[in-house]
Structure 1
Amino acid sequence: MATTADTDARLDAREIDGEPFSDIVAELEALDDGETLLLVNSFEPEPLYDVLADRGFAYETEQVAADEWRVYITPE
């Protein structure tokens, strides 16, 4: 599993007012091959997983607190 130190970009969805999907997509599009985006969320973003798979991204998820999930996302 990647670690926070291994990430190239970080997006904390908890700090976004409203729907974070467009912000997440913008961060994903900015990733180069081999780079990792750390997405922090207050819940497990299960609906995002199909979107990631459809767009060619791999991901690993970990729950670090009751209200903090981290998803490490990399282009495949």
Structure 2
Amino acid sequence: MPADPDVRLDARTIDGEPFGDIVDALDDLGPEETLLLVNGFEPEPLYGVLEERGFDYETERAGNEWRVYVTRAE
């Protein structure tokens, strides 16, 4: 897992549906940057969206927190 992500988005702090904020963060992600998405549950529906949009991801669980590291696919 990348030790120092370029962008961090904690979906737990977003009022309402976080999908729009996540898509905005993905659109702004540079070619060599990493987005760390933090969530209170595993965001399984997001994985298909990431793959369709050309992103790679790695997921880890840390206690009651899920961390998804997202990069642009090569």
Question: Shared topology, TM-score over 0.5?
Answer: yes
Q: Aligned-pair distance for 1:2?
A: 1.5
| Sequence identity (%) | 64
Q: Which residue of 2 aligns with 1:36?
A: 34
User: Runs of 5+ in structure 1 lacking a partner?
Assistant: none
Q: Which residue of 2 aligns with 1:23?
A: 21
Q: Aligned-pair distance for 1:63?
A: 0.2
User: Runs of 5+ in structure 2 lacking a partner?
Assistant: none
Q: Which residue of 2 aligns with 1:74?
A: 71
- TM-score, with length taken from structure 1: 0.93
- Please list the CA deviations of residues 32-60 of structure 1 after superposition, one character each: whole Å capped at 9, or x if unmatched: 10100000000000000000000000000
| Distance (whole Å) between structure 1 residues aligned to residue 20 and residue 70 of structure 2 | 16
Q: What letter is aligned with 1:16? A: I
Aligned CA-pair RMSD: 0.6
Q: Which residue of 2 aligns with 1:13?
A: 11
Q: Which residue of 2 aligns with 1:2?
A: 2
Aligned length: 73
Give every structure 1 segment of 4 or more consecutive aligned residues whose post-TM-superposition deviation is greater than 3 Å. Answer: none
- 2:56 is aligned, of 52, 55, 58, to 58
- TM-score, with length taken from structure 2: 0.95
